[in-house]
Amino acid sequence: MKHIKAGVIGGAGYTAGELIRLLVNHPNVQLDFVYSTSNAGNLICKVHQDLVGSLDLKFTGTVNPNVDVLFLCLGHGNSLKFLESNSVSKDTKIIDLGNDFRLEKDRKLGHREFIYGLPELQSETIKDAHCIANPGCFATAIQLALLPLANSGLLQNDVHVNAVTGATGAGTSLSATSHFPWRDNNYSYYKPFTHQHLGEISQSVKQLQNDFSSDILFMPYRGNFSRGIFATAYTKFEGSLEDAIRIYKSYFRKAKFTFVSEDTLHLKQVVNTNKCLIHLHKHHNKLLVTSIIDNLLKGASGQAIQNMNLMFGFDETTGLHLKSTYF
């Protein structure tokens, strides 16, 4: 059985914690190091307490530049700075979970070229990639809601999107809107129509439907729960519901984690899994698409492992057979 060594840069956040958990339990991976300047010398399980009894490794302040794969779990803008100031072997594959390399204009850094890592969009390209820009969480849910229509050239009008994310989407650093007394029993929008994930969403839509010129009107919300994204998108659609279901099932026929459900959806179906579930509803000439994911897994670390599996020739689902926290 093939084994690889993995390193993680920036190991203290929610996304890194989920990534470390997945790597520790992956049958083909040896976790070589987790780099954190603020926690160097401390046991990883002191920060990520779900790993007590599973991992005795300590955070380190030094980087092994020769691991097989390096995951970057840094704040947005810091992945570029890290790669510019640290020596990493040209043979080391890189998966960046930030937004530094997701857009076409930012894809190249020296000899490295980052491939956008949405498996449902371009799994064959990912298999041959050396560097991956992992998609954003909202971007993942919304793209999976829209790409089947774009692939059929059917996005001819404005698309209206509403999506709510859990508190873990804000990261571990406290802010005015992430303290428990503020978040509990509360609900609010932020960055209306200007969220940073719109760039990568539009880029992928136009990759499949080059003539798309309408607006994607995205309203993101903060929910008073810990994790998950519940997204709804609607646009004009002249076909029948049966036509839409056929289009979506055909597009996702080879997808390992994205499924079309006949039943209405709720978040607990996907929390703690790498799944995306899609539901379709037709109302007059509008098609409503619901898309749900776990923001930390399919929206971040689980998708990063999915990309790693593709890059190294492992079965795409290895290490990702996760049960939802349904009850």
Which residues are catalytic, by number? 137
For residue 266, give the nearest of 241, 232, 296 by alpha carbon.
232
State the residue for tokens 């520790």: 24
**Backbone dihedral region of 175: left (phi > 0), alpha (psi from -120 to 50 degrees) or beta?**
beta
For residue 140, give the nearest of 274, 268, 21, 323 by alpha carbon.
274
For 281, the 3-state DSSP assignment is strand
Integer CA distances (angstroms), 136 to 133, 246, 253, 318, in order: 9, 27, 23, 22
164 forms beta bridges with 221, 230
Give the Cα separation of 200 and 206 in Å (integer): 10
What strands, in cross-sheet order, belong to the sheet with 69-72? 29-35, 4-9, 69-72, 93-96, 131-133, 112-116, 108-109
Residues with Cβ within 8 Å of 83's Cβ and at least 6 positions away in sequence, in order, are 72, 94, 109, 112
Specify the DSSP class assigned to residue 153.
T
Query: What residue type is assigned to position 263 of the chain?
Result: D
Q: Provide the sign of the torsion angle of the four alpha carbons 233, 285, 151, 106, taken in this order.
A: negative
115 forms beta bridges with 132
Give the Cα separation of 301 and 17 in Å (integer): 9
Give the Cα separation of 133 and 116 in Å (integer): 5
What are the tokens at 164?
Answer: 């709510």
